[in-house]
Amino acid sequence: MPRPFDDHYPIDRRSTVPARRLSGVLVVVLCAVLGVPCRADRQPPELHFEAPVRLTSQAEQLSDLDRAPLLATMDLLGLENPGPPIRVVLAPEDTPAARRAPSWAVAYAVSGAGLVVLIPSRVPAYPDRSLETVLHHEIAHVLISRAAGHHGVPRWFNEGLAVHAAREWQLEDRARVSLATFRRGGITLAELDRRFQAGAHSAAGAYALSAAFVRYVVDRHGALVTARIFDHLADGRTFGDAYHHATGASLSADESRFWRHLDLWSKWVPLLGSSTTLWMLITTLALWAFKRRRERDAQQLEVWDLEERQQLERASTSDWVH
């Protein structure tokens, strides 16, 4: 494969940390976080790092990371063999590799080529919280392609599964899902694919909703459902057909259930916990307290006025001559 990048990437580091650096117990714990069974006797993907001199330290830091969490991702996908080494390139902002990505994107993967490009200067940006998380997310895309036999996977499922695999779901995602739910109108899963290309704001909502749907599918159909889907995809089935055979339900039916699943808890709890809602609540309480104080002051003035009139009446009555 011809090199798609400039020749000024002199460092070609191989990740030298073996998967067994983490104990078998910890690997099982990592799988439990995703809700999938896994084995600790396999090797995760081999990673080859490349970076210019100015990003050497970041490349070395990433190459020293434990790759055991990637075993849990492989089990989530039902992938027995991780395939050939994955090339990880750290690209400065002023390089052609970085300029190929949208300005808001922190990384991208060329899954068929086993290539991941990271743009460290753009991290953190939603849905990524660190360069390590970005790396896991993008490697997940490569593994997803391999698990599917390089057959087509919808963008929303690909991105949602990568977020789920990298365990990126946080309270912020709940808030984004809530906002998207309130104003979703005619949003469908197919519409999510288009939103990934519609700018940073739309893409952020699409990431959150895609991840929420993947979580819903796993919760509804069990931890092995994604592995079954990819098993059928690798056999050449379409995604809709693979989904139906793996779950026993049609994709459209589960999509309808998913929107209904976003109940009051999903809609209101994150919204009530936001800083904007908190200040609105404080302002409302302050206005209510001010109004109540004005009402009590008016009532007190009426009481004093009544008492004063009564005292005047009693004083006038005492001067009468019988």
Q: Is residue 4 part of a domain?
A: no
Q: Is residue 47 part of a domain?
A: yes
pLDDT of residue 133: 87
* Contact criterion met (CB below 8 Å) for 157 and 246: no
Which residues form the domain of 126?
Answer: 11-272
Angle between helices 68-77 and 155-165 (to 10 degrees): 140
Q: How far apart are CA 257 and CA 261, in angstroms?
A: 6
- Quote the tokens at residue 189: 């899963």
pLDDT of residue 287: 82
Q: How far apart are CA 281 and CA 268, in angstroms?
A: 14
**What is the model's pTM?**
0.68
* Contact criterion met (CB below 8 Å) for 152 and 239: yes
Do both 218 and 296 map to the same domain? Answer: no
Do both 230 and 279 map to the same domain? Answer: no
Do both 222 and 116 map to the same domain? Answer: yes
Q: Is residue 124 part of a domain?
A: yes
Q: How far apart are CA 10 and CA 67, in angstroms?
A: 24
Do both 321 and 206 map to the same domain? Answer: no
Q: Which of 238, 257, 272 is the last residue of a domain?
A: 272
pLDDT of residue 200: 80
DSSP 283-318: HHHHHHHHHHHHHHHHHHHHHHHHHHHHHHHHHHHH
**3 state DSSP class of 182:** helix
Strand pairing class (107-110; 11-14)? unpaired
Q: Which of 234, 251, 272 is the last residue of a domain?
A: 272
Do both 239 and 313 map to the same domain? Answer: no
Residue 302's pLDDT band (boundaries 50, 70, 90)? Answer: confident
Q: Is residue 5 part of a domain?
A: no
Does pLDDT of 7 surpass 80? no
Does pLDDT of 114 surpass 80? yes
Specify the number of domains making up the chain: 2
Q: Is the peptide bond preceding residue 124 cis, with omega within 30 degrees of 0?
A: yes
Do both 76 and 201 map to the same domain? Answer: yes
**If you ran DSSP here, which 8-state letter would residue 65 be given?**
S
- Quote the tokens at residue 14: 């191989």
75-98 mean pLDDT: 94
Q: Which residues contact 156 (CB under 8 A, 6 or more apart)?
A: 189, 190, 192, 193, 196, 206, 209, 210, 213
Do both 188 and 155 map to the same domain? Answer: yes
Do both 172 and 281 map to the same domain? Answer: no
Q: Give residue for tokens 């070609």.
A: 12
Helices (H), 117-185: 131-147, 155-165, 171-182
Return the number of other C-beta atoms located less than 10 Å from residue 313's C-beta.
10
Q: For residue 15, give Cα distances in angstroms to 40, 64, 127, 128, 150.
A: 18, 7, 25, 22, 25
* Contact criterion met (CB below 8 Å) for 216 and 258: yes
Candidate ranges 75-84, 166-175, 183-192, 256-265; pick with highest mean pLDDT: 75-84
What is the CATH number for 221? 1.10.390
Q: Which of 252, 272, 292 is the last residue of a domain?
A: 272
Among 82-86, 140-144, 244-248, 307-311, the least confident range: 307-311
Q: Is residue 181 part of a domain?
A: yes
Helices first, then strands: H and E counts in the chain: 14, 5
Among 3-17, 126-140, 157-171, 194-208, the least confident range: 3-17
Q: Is residue 1 part of a domain?
A: no
61-82 mean pLDDT: 91
Do both 107 and 179 map to the same domain? Answer: yes
Residue 32's pLDDT band (boundaries 50, 70, 90)? Answer: low
Q: Is residue 102 part of a domain?
A: yes
Q: What is the CA radius of gyration of the chain?
A: 29
Does pLDDT of 215 surpass 50? yes
Do both 240 and 196 map to the same domain? Answer: yes
Do both 181 and 321 map to the same domain? Answer: no
* Contact criterion met (CB below 8 Å) for 128 and 139: no
Q: How far apart are CA 180 and CA 189, in angstroms?
A: 13
Q: Is residue 121 part of a domain?
A: yes
pLDDT of residue 235: 94
- Report the alpha-carbon angle 292-294-297, nearest 5: 110
Question: 122-153: per-residue pLDDT in tens?
Answer: 876 555 568 888 999 999 999 999 999 999 89
Q: How far apart are CA 127 and CA 221, in angstroms?
A: 25
Q: How far apart are CA 24 and CA 28, in angstroms?
A: 6
Do both 284 and 211 map to the same domain? Answer: no
pLDDT of residue 231: 95
Q: H/E element holding 52?
A: none
